[in-house]
């Protein structure tokens, strides 16, 4: 049996309490996702008072593309604000500040009035693979890792803009600004034009000192609009305008605070404030992020700044995680995840070895031309074997990242796991087995919108301590590894690494354009 210990901590950081009057200012956090807009209202004294979300449409018109209409983000934000206030029994006068988070570095291209010229191109979009290779060659004289904290990859913004300039030249000729999704939404509320620090760093267009990298811009041979100024999380950048108030339902004059990247504020909202704290997120993609007291350079990872001054967040992001399970469910005609998990529990651990590169791979390989592979199939293979191998393959991918962090000298302490995609206890148990360590499984983690609300409070002085979020461990479960599975997974992990290297050239051949 898997050992599970319930932890019942009460804290103003997560749960409301009955002994504090339901009065006082509220803080609004909004998170723009690929498929949902989520929002949270936080009382500095009582914690979370209301949460809600609304779906938005993810457009995948071409394999590998990922786009969202920014106008739908705005409309959804207005809807969730109205719902939040109604659920909390509050008025817009109670909202003391707001902040926004979103995927980074998503790209919103606007005209001179701030109106988007096209759908936003999300950070998971892989259309610019040719431009990535081209710029990697032309920029090889620059040490982008030391300059920005990350290497040029399919996540970088320069290749995406190069693709737009080549394929949509008339549109690009009208471009007056390039922002992230959350900075764009803040601008719609009334914020001054800016990009947040981690969008700037992950874009590859700014250095660690937050200055534009003119060498990168010049290499693209594209006429760029003026680069937006960079602002740090927690900075007040404007007030809600009268026009935005009419559309959104907020009060005109409400302070707008710089939020941040979803993965950063989700990690912060999960209580990551001490060196070595880490969070694994099982979402459509797979994220792992850890707190480092110093700048952490490794070409296999991205690097983010912690919203708390003086700390850094080395960050790994796998191209597939929950999306691989969605694909599996499609193959099995919509089989429910619970049923697949039940079948997998009856399967032998390590019966198959899966490489989860079904959409290429971001970190640590930075290779969009990798392909998925399932090794060990035979006529006795069951649906449960297949499902378990997908969960194991993603867990091996996370272990690679843990090993990279260890190689860089970062000793992990409290490792937490949450999900914004498919929820599977079996998956978390397998992850604990593969990593051979206890995991703190966060139950009903409110995610990035909660982190954004707390940052809004810090920005206007209603929350004074960055450690406010440490209450996020409330309602957590400690999941310990099965001792009998650890040795099996250690052997399979080594085979996973060997198979990954051995199949690379074949993957590249299969992914090569027909021409």
Q: What is the pLDDT of residues 231-286, one digit of tens each?
A: 999 999 999 999 999 999 999 999 999 999 999 999 999 999 999 999 999 988 89
Residue 95 above 80 pLDDT? yes
How large is the average pLDDT for residues 98-124? 96
Calculate the alpha carbon distances from 161 to 65, 91, 132, 140 in Å.
14, 41, 11, 19
Q: What is the largest CA-CA distance in the chain?
A: 69
| Structure token pair of residue 424 | 């599977």
| Rounded Cα distance, 272 and 295, in Å | 16
Print burial letters for 389-420: b (CB count within 10 Å at least 16), e (below 16).
bbbbbbbbbbbbbbebbeeeebebebbbbbbb
Look up residue 403 and give its two tokens. 């090993």
Contacts (Cβ under 8 Å, ≥6 apart) of 106: 120, 121, 122, 123, 180, 181
pLDDT one-digit tens code per residue, 40-76? 999 999 999 999 999 999 999 998 899 999 999 999 9
d(CA 367, CA 318): 11
Rounded CA gap, 353 and 392, in Å? 8
Contact assessment for residue 456 and residue 450, using Cβ atoms and an 8 Å cutoff: no
CA distances from 401 to 192, 314, 410, 429 (A): 37, 10, 11, 18
User: Whole-angstrom Cα distance, residue 343 to residue 339?
Assistant: 6
Reported confidence tier of residue 10, pLDDT bands at 50, 70, 90: very low
Greater confidence, 108 or 124? 108
pTM equals: 0.88
Report whether 210 contacts 197 (CB < 8 A). Answer: yes
pLDDT at 472: 59
Average pLDDT over residues 324-340: 93
Q: Give the chain's domains with CATH numbers.
A: 23-265+448-459+462-473 (3.30.420.40), 273-437+493-511 (3.30.420.40)
Tell me if 127 sits within 8 A of 65, measured CB to CB: yes
CA distance 118 to 322: 27
């Amino acid at each position: 049996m898997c050992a599970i210990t319930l932890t019942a901590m009460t804290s103003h950081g997560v749960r409301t309490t009955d002994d504090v009057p339901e009065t006082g200012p509220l803080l609004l956090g909004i998170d723009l996702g690929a498929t949902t807009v989520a929002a949270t209202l936080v009382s500095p004294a009582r914690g979370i008072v209301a949460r809600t979300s609304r779906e938005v449409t993810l457009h995948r018109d071409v394999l590998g593309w990922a786009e969202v209409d920014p106008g739908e983000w705005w409309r959804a934000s207005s809807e969730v604000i109205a719902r939040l206030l109604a659920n909390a029994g509050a008025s817009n006068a109670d909202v003391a500040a707001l902040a926004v988070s979103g995927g980074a570095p998503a790209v919103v291209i606007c005209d001179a009035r701030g109106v988007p010229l096209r759908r936003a191109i999300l950070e998971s979009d892989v259309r610019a693979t040719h431009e990535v290779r081209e710029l990697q060659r032309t920029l090889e004289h620059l040490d982008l890792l030391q300059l920005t904290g990350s290497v040029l990859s399919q996540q970088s913004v320069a290749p995406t803009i190069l693709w737009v300039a080549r394929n949509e030249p008339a549109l690009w000729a009208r471009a007056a600004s390039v922002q992230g999704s959350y900075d764009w939404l803040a601008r719609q509320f009334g914020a001054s034009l800016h990009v947040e620090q981690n969008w700037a760093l992950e874009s590859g267009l700014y250095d660690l000192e937050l200055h534009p990298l003119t060498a990168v811009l010049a290499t693209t041979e594209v006429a760029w609009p003026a680069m937006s100024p960079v602002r740090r999380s927690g900075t007040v950048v404007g007030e809600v305008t009268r026009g935005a108030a009419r559309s959104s339902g907020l009060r005109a004059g409400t302070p707008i605070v710089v939020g941040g990247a979803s993965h950063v504020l989700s990690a912060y909202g999960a209580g990551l404030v001490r060196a070595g704290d880490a969070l694994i997120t099982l979402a459509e993609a797979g994220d792992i992020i850890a707190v480092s007291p110093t700048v952490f350079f490794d070409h296999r990872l991205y690097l983010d700044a912690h919203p708390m001054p003086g700390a850094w967040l080395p960050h790994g992001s796998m191209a597939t995680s929950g999306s691989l399970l969605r694909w599996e469910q499609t193959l099995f005609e919509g089989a429910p995840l619970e049923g697949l998990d039940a079948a997998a529990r009856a399967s032998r651990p390590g019966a198959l070895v899966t490489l989860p590169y079904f959409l290429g791979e971001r970190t640590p390989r930075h290779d969009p031309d990798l392909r998925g592979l399932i090794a060990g199939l035979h006529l006795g293979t069951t649906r449960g074997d297949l499902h378990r191998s997908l969960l194991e393959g993603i867990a091996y991918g996370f272990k690679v990242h843990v090993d990279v962090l260890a190689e860089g000298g970062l000793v992990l302490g409290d490792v937490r796991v949450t999900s914004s995609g498919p929820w599977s206890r079996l998956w978390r148990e397998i992850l604990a087995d593969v990593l051979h360590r206890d995991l703190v499984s966060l139950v009903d983690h409110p995610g990035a919108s909660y982190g954004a609300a707390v940052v809004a409070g810090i920005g206007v002085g209603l929350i004074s301590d960055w450690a406010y979020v440490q209450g996020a461990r409330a309602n957590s479960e400690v999941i310990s590894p099965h001792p009998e599975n650890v040795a099996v997974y250690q052997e399979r992990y080594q085979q996973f690494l060997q198979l990954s290297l051995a199949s690379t050239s074949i993957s590249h051949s299969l992914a090569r354009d027909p021409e």
